[in-house]
Amino acid sequence: MSKVMSMKQAIAKHVNDGDFLFIGGYICRTPFAAIHEIIRQQKKDLTVTRSNAADDFDMMIGAGVVKRFVATFLSLGFYGLGRCYRRSLEQGIPHRIEVEEYTNLSLPMMLMAGSMGMPFIPVKDMAGSDLLNVKSFMGDNKYKIIDSPFDGAKTVLVPALNPDLAIVHVQQADEDGNAQIWGIGGDCQVGANAAKKVIVTCERIVSREVIGKDPSRTIVPDFKVVAVVEEPFCAHPGYTPGFYDFDFAFGNLYKNASSTVEGFQAFLDEWVYGVTGRAKYIEHYIQKMGYGAFRNLQAKFDYGYPVSYAY
């Protein structure tokens, strides 16, 4: 049975209120269309995680779908602090989310441990910092410090994470879910493989034969995947290598809009609630910004260097 379905179907079927979600991306290949669909379907009480969260997590927090955040970082990068994140933690708008804080070393290691069925993993960071002095919903299970059974050295242990669901955006996948990426990885591969099931969104669906032309690029095998969604331009305003560039102007637009509660609400009304899905979003983008702006984001094509697996 083909796993291909629409974004609306995939989110409705596989994202439950209260779920723990890993959402991949590092500005590179952010599954933004899935984020918008989660907001449109008004999912509730989600726990979300990723190393280096950005505008997409800020938007989910502002829209009220997040209860808990296993975090390392959240900012709009070049555009400054996450406005919705600040409002949530400083003023409780729309509500105060619970944050468990790790780092861009420890969180990927926790996901890696989860992906390999390990119960916990030692890490060499966080020692001596106040990150050890703040605990939230994970309580005493945030970390443990032991004397290493091998050499007696003080060692920080962090628990493995196994999210209920991972959502990752990739360049191409086949109908069964073999998913291939190229470019900056972030914690996408460990996050996807740590999860109990995976939604793959992709720029294009290709045949199993095409996947086999360069199988080293596959980061998730089909047996972990429950849904495949073909969603071109899915990562906008982030980028997908080989497909489209980062949209600097749109970053500014979001920064300005999210600076006030009213502006943020108007942004959601226009770009999330006001469209039925990514196709309509693209239509709206072209109407508003002009076809030239849309065209300018498209990557120049580069055939690259052919790979041979011959023997």
Which region, judged by CB under 8 A, interacts with another protein, from 60-68, 203-211, 237-245, 268-276?
Answer: 237-245
Q: Label residue 33 left, alpha or beta by phi (over 0 means left) and psi (-120 to 50 means alpha).
A: alpha
Stretch that binds another protein, among 13-21, 31-39, 209-217, 244-252 (CB under 8 A): 244-252
Q: Which stretch binds another protein (CB under 8 A): 6-14, 31-39, 164-172, 188-196?
A: 188-196
Helix 261-268 crosses helix 83-91 at what angle (to 10 degrees)?
130
Among 5, 10, 21, 26, binds another protein (CB under 8 A): 26
Q: What is the nearest approach in angstroms of another protein to the Cβ of residue 282?
A: 19
Q: If binding is defined by CB under 8 A, does position 296 make contact with another protein? A: no
Phi, psi of 98 (to 5 degrees): -95, 135
* Residue of 146, 184, 249, 307 that binds another protein (CB under 8 A): 184
Minimum CB separation of residue 254 from another protein in Å reads 15
Tokens of 267: 């942004």
- Considering only residues 91 to 120 of the shown chain, the ones binding another protein according to CB under 8 A are 101-106, 108-109, 112
Q: Which one of 6, 41, 75, 265 is in contact with another protein (CB under 8 A)?
A: 75
> What is the distance, to the nearest Å, from the Cα of residue 10 to the centroid of all Cα atoms in its chain?
16
Interacting residue with another protein among 86, 196, 224, 284 (CB under 8 A): 86
Please, what is the minimum distance in Å from the beta carbon of residue 161 to another protein? 14
DSSP string, 43-104: --SEEEE-SSB-HHHHHHHHHT-EEEEEES-BB-GGG-B-HHHHHHHHH-SS-PPEEEE--T
The span from the CA of 178 to the CA of 210, in Å, is 11
Triad 197, 198, 203: Cα angle to 5°: 170
**x/- track of binding to another protein for residues 32-71 (CB under 8 A):** -------------------xx------------------x
Site membership for another protein, residue 73 (CB under 8 A): yes
Q: For residue 208, count CB atoms less than 10 angstroms from its CB and return exposed for 0-12, middle for 13-18, buried for 19 or more.
A: exposed
Q: In what order do the strands lie in the sheet with 144-147?
A: 120-123, 154-159, 144-147
- Site residues for another protein, window 115-174 (CB under 8 A)? 123-131, 134, 153-155
Binding-site ranges for another protein (CB under 8 A): 26-28, 51-52, 71-75, 77-78, 81-82, 85-86, 89-90, 101-106, 108-109, 112, 123-131, 134, 153-155, 182-190, 239, 241, 245-246, 248, 302
